[in-house]
Structure 1
Amino acid sequence: MERDFENDNVETLNFKSSSNDKAPAKLWVTASGKGGVGKTFVSSSLGITLSKLGHTVVIVDLDLSGANIHTVLGVNPSHMNIRHYFEGVKTLQDLVIPTQYSNLSYVQGFWDSWSPIDFTMDQIANLIPQIHALRADYVIVDLGAGALEAHLELFKAADEKFLVTSPEPTSIEKTYRFIEAFVCHSLKQDSTPDAYGNMLTTLRSHRQRTLGKPFSFRSYLKEQTGLNYDFFESLTSKPVRLIVNSCRYQNHSELGFGMKSVCNKYYDLSIDFAASIDFDNAVWQSVKGREHVLFAQPFTGLAGQFLTTCKQLIDPEELRAVV
């Protein structure tokens, strides 16, 4: 039976204590270079899996052009959405809406697209501490597609960074472009304007195959003044996590290893191949039925793939013990 959760009392949720000594919510961000790769499905599946493991989770929908977390979760759209936060009408916590799934809530994204909005960097800077202050163990931010500056800044700030691709060539190409943009954005704040401009010029020459020698981000940065390359070292502890969604064949499932190798060779960037997610017709069928596939079919291989991914990130010792 369809239920409208908008008017439920949010304060009755089993959130962590709102005392000042609570640990900040951990921020997970899902991004993609291209739309249509299943990013929202991945975000919702990660959230549901964490909630099944006993953690309180809030999914924040920040897809400007196609907010539909509520649809995937089987919830009617709310008139109260994140626009009210950016307009200063409500706090982010005020906008948290419960779902039919225990421990899982969400913040409605912009679905009134007749009056579009864009983010400024100041707004994103103010949003990040508000996300960490939410009464939850984990906050998953579902970004729109593409390497917008606001997307890159949130991606950079995340405790876990998920980059979702599909096996399609257009998606793979856009994923590499997102990684390039993320590297450049991350280096920008620690470089002088002249040094950053010179780096972009060198990158264009590299793309056009006009450099006299093979290009390496790391060696280039070491040779230049005005650029700080500690960014690469910091990503060792918090790497980009690649998820390949909608895998139909064995070579699709192994695609992430090849992309990881490419990133290491051409960008001097170590990324983590977090998971390959199988294609399953039950996904779109569950959306039509307004019940997430991980609840409609909780014992499938698909559910197991997300369970393994989440446990590897939050409790790898326990997972190794089971294996």
Structure 2
Amino acid sequence: MDFENDNLETLVPRKSGDSSSPAKVWVVASGKGGVGKTFVSSSLGITLSKLGHSVVVVDLDLSGANIHTTLGVNPSHMNIRHFFEGVKTLQEIVIPTQFANLSYVQGFWDSWTPIDFNSVQIANLIPEMKSLRADYVIVDLGAGALEPHLDLFKSADEKFLVTSPEPTSIEKTYRFIEAYVCHSLKQNATPDAYGQMISTLRSHRQRTLAKPFSFRSYLKEQEGFQYDFFETMSSNPVRLIVNSARSQTNMDLGHSIKSVCNKYYDLGLDYVAGIEFDNAVWQSVKGREHVLVAQPFTALAGQFLATCKQLIDPEELRAVV
């Protein structure tokens, strides 16, 4: 399926509610690649669209844009590069899919040199995403805690952090969480106070502190910080998703990570979903038919449905998958 028409105004989804209200931005991130982040992003988008909401999925994975593959769409010449170069507005590069209410913005596809974006570009991108003619914008970030990733993650209405049960993924998940906290605190700290905190964290990593490190306890004992960060985190927490769970132990991993973050960082996470491993996922990608379409009544589909229903206002629901 290929959409090469530059004039897409009549094809993109309209808002299902008040057209004057900004789109809600959901950002999907991970500390490590290969954990199924793009699968989660596309599944959230498809599920929300089945619930009657208009959705745009934005591919910001600079290392390997492939949202189009998971949605069964051929890559388009019209992509996010045109926005960053100032050639097109974000709305002008929204591309429809075969799914009702679901469109996407193609990631970098036609570049043969290393790609990067900075915090200034992200600051310009955020209001553009909120002004898209959609109820929800799902952003598929690249892996890792790069500063632009953290800027966008911090600004999101919903923040999803995807991990898998593998030890390397779990470790990178903790590193992403630490980087996110530090990045957020840096904006409300003096340079000296921030530098001292980083030094203390290194000592914590080297197991040379006298007691376990807690961000909240540390900040209360130091000058040069503002303390509203943890209140913000409580009202808009990181939503943890454990993908490719093969056992109940894997499913329980999210509760363990949540407990560790609370104990050592005094940081609350919301373990929102454990997604079961299913061979049909990679088989559906190979066949270019999303598994939620090929098998819409499986436990996997039910897990994404429950996740979306948990996070959106139930009064807004107008359809059932």
TM-score tier, shorter chain, comes to over 0.9
CA offset at residue 248 of structure 1?
0.7
CA offset at residue 318 of structure 1?
9.1
2:14 is the alignment partner of 1:15: yes
CA offset at residue 5 of structure 1?
2.4
Cα distance in structure 2, aligned partners of 1:129 and 1:268? 32
**1:298 pairs with one of 281, 296, 299:** 296
Q: For residue 28 of structure 2, what is the amino acid of its counterpart?
A: T
Number of residue-to-residue matches in the alignment: 317
SS in 2 for 1:10: coil
The residue that corresponds to 2:130 in the other structure is 132
Moved more, 207-216 or 218-227: 207-216
Does the CA-based 8 Å contact 2:15-2:53 persist in structure 1?
A: no
SS in 2 for 1:254: helix
CA deviation map 1:159-218 (0-9, x unaligned): 000000000000000000000000000000000111000100011111111123332110
CA deviation map 1:75-132 (0-9, x unaligned): 0000110011001111000110000000000000012341232111111111111110
Does the CA-based 8 Å contact 1:30-1:143 persist in structure 2?
A: yes
Q: For residue 173 of structure 1, what is the amino acid of its counterpart?
A: E
**1:251 pairs with one of 244, 249, 252:** 249
Q: For residue 178 of structure 2, what is the amino acid of its counterpart?
A: E
Cα distance in structure 2, aligned partners of 1:204 and 1:78? 45
Cα distance in structure 2, aligned partners of 1:15 and 1:196? 44
The residue that corresponds to 1:232 in the other structure is 230
Cα distance change of structure 1 residues 240 and 284 upon mapping to structure 2, 3 Å threshold: same
Cα distance change of structure 1 residues 289 and 8 upon mapping to structure 2, 3 Å threshold: farther
**2:120 pairs with one of 119, 122, 131:** 122
Cα distance in structure 2, aligned partners of 1:119 and 1:220? 33
2:38 is the alignment partner of 1:40: yes
Cα distance in structure 1, aligned partners of 2:303 and 2:309? 10
Q: Percent of pairs identical after alignment?
A: 80
SS in 1 for 2:9: helix
Moved more, 203-212 or 82-91: 203-212
Q: Which runs of 5+ in 2 are unaligned?
A: none
1:84-103 aligned at under 5 Å gives the runs: 84-103=82-101
Q: Which runs of 5+ in 1 are unaligned?
A: none
Q: Considering only aligned residues, what root-mean-square deviation do their CA atoms show, in Å?
A: 1.8
2:197 is the alignment partner of 1:199: yes
The residue that corresponds to 1:186 in the other structure is 184
Cα distance in structure 1, aligned partners of 2:93 and 2:71? 16
- TM-score of the two chains, using structure 2 as the length reference: 0.95
Q: For residue 84 of structure 1, what is the amino acid of its counterpart?
A: H
Cα distance in structure 1, aligned partners of 2:153 and 2:189? 19
SS in 2 for 1:183: helix
Moved more, 257-266 or 114-123: 114-123
Cα distance in structure 2, aligned partners of 1:42 and 1:31? 10
Does the CA-based 8 Å contact 2:16-2:52 persist in structure 1?
A: no
1:139-178 aligned at under 5 Å gives the runs: 139-178=137-176
CA deviation map 1:276-321 (0-9, x unaligned): 00111111111111111101110000000000000000035899xx
Cα distance in structure 1, aligned partners of 2:151 and 2:89? 21
The residue that corresponds to 2:270 in the other structure is 272
Cα distance in structure 1, aligned partners of 2:110 and 2:134? 27
Cα distance in structure 1, aligned partners of 2:3 and 2:57? 15
